[in-house]
Amino acid sequence: MNVKHVLRFACLFVLPLFLAMTAAAQTRTVTGTVVDDSTQAPIAGVTIKVKDGPQTAVTNDQGIFTLNVPANGAVIQYSHVNYEFGEVAVKLEGAMNIAMKRVENSLDDVVVVGYGTQRARDITGSVVNVDLKKLTDMPVASITEALRGQIPGVNVTGGSTRPGSMPNLNIRQQFNWGKDGGGPTL
């Protein structure tokens, strides 16, 4: 009976332990450095990803990354804003050194709208820029009051007459949605 318990213990605990160890041995840790190809300065924040795999890493301030990759070889992909996307095969031994090439792209003006973002040239309506530095220096109780007189076509009424009263914001003109001339204004 004692032999039966030993075999059961071996089958239930020892065998799965060996299987887990062999599964862990199927990956290896790769370290490397990412630098700018022209200045050789380290690049922080580069995303490193195993192609067709879930493993990802991000470079630190010195451009160094550590990533677990399959032991049988893998391809890693790297990307960063203002740099070219790239792929490289993982070396069998030693640290990886990746040099990224800078891409000179100029970004168009982007406008944030209530349901996404659009380029400024694609918008058919009116777009106005407001200087936030001017707004922060104004002695007002709310952002709505700070917009008073800053944007053409925007009329701000109320808000400063009594403490706690909210100002009304009217864009372009007062629109009455109700048939009796009442209702909310924009």
Amino acid at 26: Q
The H or E element spanning position 70 is strand 64-70
Domain assignment of residue 113, yes or no: no
Task: Indicate which CATH number applies to the domain containing 46.
Answer: 2.60.40.4130
Are both 36 and 94 inside the same structural domain? yes
Alpha helices in 106-146 (DSSP H): 132-136, 143-146
pLDDT tens, residue by residue, 114-168: 666 677 667 777 777 777 777 777 887 777 788 787 877 787 877 766 777 778 7
pLDDT tens, residue by residue, 12-30: 665 565 555 555 558 888 9
Domain assignment of residue 144, yes or no: yes
Are both 89 and 35 inside the same structural domain? yes
Domain assignment of residue 94, yes or no: yes
Are both 96 and 147 inside the same structural domain? no
Residue 141 is given by DSSP the state: S
How many structural domains are present in the chain? Answer: 2
Give bridge partners of residue 27 from the DSSP assignment: 70
Domain assignment of residue 20, yes or no: no
pTM score = 0.47
Domain assignment of residue 179, yes or no: no
Domain assignment of residue 182, yes or no: no
Domain, as residue range, for 159? 128-171
